[in-house]
C-alpha cells in the first residue's frame, strides 16, 4: 500500500518553447515542479493534509500531482490553466483543474466553481479554497500548467 500524502501545495507556470513538449517542460520548470516525476492523480485531497506555500522535494521523486495544462502553437492566443483545492471541515477535500483558451481570471472563476460543485455533489461544504492560475500569450509555441503537488 502506498503512503498517504500529508502536504499539498498549488503551483502554476507558463512558458514558450520550440516544440509543444519543450514548452510544457519549461512551464513545469516555471511552476517549480519540472525536475520531478509526476504521477497524475485524480480529484481527492487526503484527509488531514496540510497546505504549505512550497514543497522541497528531491529531484526525480515520484510525486502524486493533479494538474491541468494546455499547449498552443497559435501566435497571439491567450491560454490559461488553474488548479483549485478545497478543504472540508473534518474530512477529505477535493482538487479540480482547468485549462483553456481564456484569461487567468476566467480560469480562476471556472476552477473555483468546479470545486464548489464537487463539494455540493458530495453533500459537503468547503471551508477554504486555494487557487493558483497562470495566463500566457503565445508567441510561437506556448504552454501553461497549474498543479496540486502532494508530498509526505
| Whether 97 is catalytic | yes
Q: Which of 72, 80, 82, 97 is catalytic?
A: 97
- Measured CA to CA, the distance from residue 106 to residue 109 in angstroms comes to 5
| Whether 128 is catalytic | no
- Measured CA to CA, the distance from residue 110 to residue 113 in angstroms comes to 5
Q: 16 CB contacts (<8 Å, ≥6 apart)?
A: 23, 26, 136, 138, 139, 140, 141, 142
Closest CA to 142 of 26, 49, 50: 26
Q: Which of 16, 43, 77, 103 is catalytic?
A: 43
| Whether 82 is catalytic | no
Q: Which of 37, 105, 128, 139 is catalytic?
A: 37
| Whether 106 is catalytic | no
Mind telling me the catalytic residues? 37, 42-43, 97
Amino acid at each position: 500500500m502506498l503512503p498517504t500524502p500529508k502536504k499539498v501545495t498549488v503551483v502554476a507556470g507558463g512558458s514558450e518553447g520550440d516544440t509543444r513538449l519543450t514548452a510544457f517542460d519549461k512551464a513545469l520548470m516555471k511552476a517549480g515542479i519540472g525536475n520531478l516525476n509526476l504521477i497524475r492523480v485524480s480529484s481527492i485531497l487526503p484527509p488531514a493534509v496540510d497546505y504549505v506555500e512550497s514543497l522541497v522535494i528531491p529531484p526525480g521523486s515520484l510525486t502524486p500531482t493533479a494538474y491541468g495544462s494546455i499547449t498552443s502553437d497559435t501566435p497571439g492566443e491567450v491560454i490559461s490553466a488553474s488548479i483549485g483545492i478545497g478543504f472540508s471541515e473534518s474530512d477529505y477535500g477535493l482538487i479540480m483543474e482547468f485549462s483553456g483558451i481564456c484569461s487567468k481570471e476566467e480560469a480562476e472563476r471556472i476552477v473555483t466553481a468546479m470545486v464548489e460543485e464537487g463539494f455540493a455533489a458530495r453533500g459537503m461544504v468547503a471551508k477554504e479554497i486555494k487557487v493558483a492560475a497562470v495566463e500566457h500569450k503565445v508567441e510561437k509555441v506556448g504552454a501553461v500548467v497549474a498543479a496540486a503537488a502532494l508530498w509526505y
